[in-house]
Chains A and B, each alone.
Chain A
Amino acid sequence: GQQLNQSPQSMFIQEGEDVSMNCTSSSIFNTWLWYKQDPGEGPVLLIALYKAGELTSNGRLTAQFGITRKDSFLNISASIPSDVGIYFCAGPAYNTDKLIFGTGTRLQVFP
Chain B
Amino acid sequence: DAMVIQNPRYQVTQFGKPVTLSCSQTLNHNVMYWYQQKSSQAPKLLFHYYDKDFNNEADTPDNFQSRRPNTSFCFLDIRSPGLGDAAMYLCATSRSSVQETQYFGPGTRLLVL
Tell me the A residues contacting B by CB distance below 8 Å: 30-31, 33, 35, 40-45, 48, 86, 88, 90, 92, 96-99, 101-104, 106
- B2 CB to closest chain A CB (Å) equals 11
In the complex, are the beta carbons of A92 and B42 less than 8 A apart? no
A sample of 27 cross-chain residue pairs with beta-carbon separation below 8 angstroms, ordered by A number, consists of A30-B99, A31-B99, A31-B101, A33-B101, A33-B102, A35-B104, A40-B88, A40-B107, A42-B4, A42-B6, A42-B90, A43-B90, A45-B102, A45-B103, A48-B101, A90-B102, A92-B98, A92-B99, A97-B50, A97-B55, A98-B45, A99-B98, A101-B42, A103-B42, A104-B40, A104-B41, A104-B42
Chain B interface residue number, banded:
20 to 34
Task: Specify the main secondary structure of chain A where it touches its partner.
Answer: strand
Contacts known (A43-B90, A88-B42, A104-B42); A97 close to B98, Cβ less than 8 A: yes
